[in-house]
Structure formats: C-alpha cells, structure tokens
Amino acid sequence: MRAVVTGGAGFLGSHLCDYLLARGWDVLSIDNLVTGTERNVHHLRDNPHFRMMQHDVTKYIEVPGEVDYVLHFASPASPVDYLKLPIQTLKVGSLGTHNTLGLALAKKAKYFLASTSECYGDPAISPQPETYWGNVNTVGPRGVYDEAKRFAEALVMAYHRAKGLDTHIVRIFNTYGPRMRLNDGRALPNFVHQGLTGQPITVYGTGKQTRSFCYVSDLIEGIYRLMMSDEHLPTNIGNPHEITILEFAERVRTLLGVTTPIVFEPLPQDDPKQRCPDISKARRVLAWEPKVNLEEGLRMTLESFKKQFSEAQQASK
C-alpha cells in the first residue's frame, strides 16, 4: 500500500506516517513546512519506504506512480497559527482539499480528510455528537479555520456522492503528545513553555471552560480504523473525559514541579466554553475508544517537551 500524507511533517501527520510505515506501507509526505518541521520526520530519513516532498498543496499536485490512499492533514491547526495565516488556512481547506481530492480521483485512491471538532463552534449542546450542526461565527476570527474545515467536509461528501470516490472524514478533538511545538499557542504547549521559562501560566477567562484531551497514539489508532472502515460520514475521534482548563493548568504545573503563578487573561472571541466528543459512533462502528489516561499521556509528553526545550536552549548558545 502506498499513501500520500499532506501535512506529513506536522504534529499529527508525522505520527500518522510512523504508524503507516510500521504496518509496511510506502509513504510520501507532502508539506510546505509553514507550520510543520523536518525535525518531526528526521528519524525517517533513511527509511526506504518514506519520501518527503516540500510542496504547497493549494497548487497542483503531481505524484508519479500508483497511490492507494490520499490523507489530507495539511492545515494550520492552532489559533496562533490560523489567526496569523488566515488566508493560507482558508486556501488549504478549500483549494488544498480540491487538489487532493483530484489526486485521489486520478489515482483511483481512497481519500481521508482530517477535519476538526471546531466544526461545532461554540456548541450549544455537550458532548457533541456528529449529528449536531454546530454554532459557528462565520465572520469571526476563528471562522477562517472553522469554515475552511466545514467547506472541506462538504467538498469531500460532494466527491463521494457525485464521483463515487471512497472517502472518510474524522473530526479530531483536542490531541496532545510528543512533537507539538512549544510555541504553537495551544493550552498544553503554552503551559509547559511558561512553566519551563519561569513565566506565569496564562489561563483565559475564568478557566472554567472545559476541554477533553486525547493522547496522540489513541487518535492515530482511531484514524486508522476509520480509514479501513466503510463509514463515509464524519466521525468523532477524541477522549470524552472533560477537564476544566484551570484544573488542566494546575495538573501541568504539578507534573513540571514548578511554582509559577497562574494568571487570568480575557477570553478570546468565540472561544468554545465546552469541547467534549460523543464517541458513541466510534465505539459502535470502529470498536475504538481511548486507552491512555491523562496522567500517563502528560508524563510522556512532558518528557518530550523538556527535551525539546533543552535542545532549543543549547542551540541558542
């Protein structure tokens, strides 16, 4: 089997490349390295089954040879990134999705879209089932990401219905693990970076808003099961265990062994008050549910962050 993974040098994309290679696939990673980094796939450089192409998927994609699967994971995914790159985010969700669907169609390949729980916006119900249509501010600052992914889902389903393309869509909820960037703006990297540098840990709003955090190995396993399934409609993959952001910050601070204070800043516009997946469908259709608990996942991730922080300090000397 040969897969094309867009965004293959990103946090999730690189873990997906590892997973597929471990199962004997050939993998071509396509990434323009806007938010991804070659460091994430450096360990694969001598693997004869892995190749990396630096390319912007919003432009025409040419891939010689046969392709069995196209997996579209390219996109800025953290608020810091997509607020800084709003037009690129909209383009990779629209033009990038169109181009990757065209590649899959030309190669008679299966297609997989990495969508997001952000499709639900600031939800009026919790946990969020796939049948919930969402509460999204289309013209707000977060709309560039939310609407890019909602459009991508609509385009994928149009290719499935009109062209008969074998497609799959995952809605990814908050995921964490090694290879996240320390400066990517999401809650966990922010807390860790602030804790390691002795800065106050920043919590937005009252900290009572909730999130649910899924360890990356659990997510990738769920994605693979969805890839191999006959399910074409969007499917939630995430950890249904909710935790407040304040409690999460306190837990990270304890595990880091730091005493820096927690400070509160105004809540960003349209920031969801709750984010928790209903994974009934994943349990039923994929026989999947997360296995790594938060304590274990955080310990593995914090070790990775400490190593990344130490390397960055050495490089700056």
CATH number of the domain where residue 127 is located: 3.40.50.720
Residue 34, domain extent: 2-178+214-240+276-292
Pair 198, 232 in one domain: no
Q: Which letter does DSSP use for residue 267 in this model?
A: P
Pair 160, 231 in one domain: yes
And the tokens for 8? 């293959």
Pair 236, 249 in one domain: no
Distance of alpha carbon 131 from alpha carbon 103, whole angstroms: 29
Pair 16, 145 in one domain: yes
The predicted-structure confidence for 84-140, as pLDDT tens digits, reads as follows 999 999 999 999 999 999 999 999 999 999 999 999 999 999 999 999 999 999 999
User: Tokens 């914090």 belong to which residue?
Assistant: 302
Pair 81, 95 in one domain: yes
Pair 13, 149 in one domain: yes
- Full pLDDT tens readout for the chain, 317 residues: 999 999 999 999 999 999 999 999 999 999 999 999 999 999 999 999 999 999 999 999 999 999 999 999 999 999 999 999 999 999 999 999 999 999 999 999 999 999 999 999 999 999 999 999 999 999 999 999 999 999 999 999 999 999 999 999 999 999 999 999 887 888 999 999 999 999 999 999 999 999 999 999 999 999 999 999 999 999 999 999 999 999 999 999 999 999 999 999 998 888 889 999 999 999 999 999 999 999 999 999 999 998 888 887 777 77
Pair 145, 252 in one domain: no
What is the phi-psi region of residue 274: left when phi exceeds 0, alpha when psi lies from -120 to 50, beta otherwise?
A: beta
Pair 78, 12 in one domain: yes
Between helices 216-227 and 11-22, what is the axis angle to 10°?
60
CATH number of the domain where residue 267 is located: 3.90.25.10
Q: Is position 204 annotated as part of the catalytic site?
A: no
Number of domains into which the chain is organized: 2
- Encode burial over 85-99: b for 16+ CB neighbours within 10 A, e otherwise: bbebbbbbbbebbbb
Q: Of the listed 82, 111, 120, 145, which one is catalytic?
A: 145
Portion of the chain with pLDDT greater than 70, in percent: 100
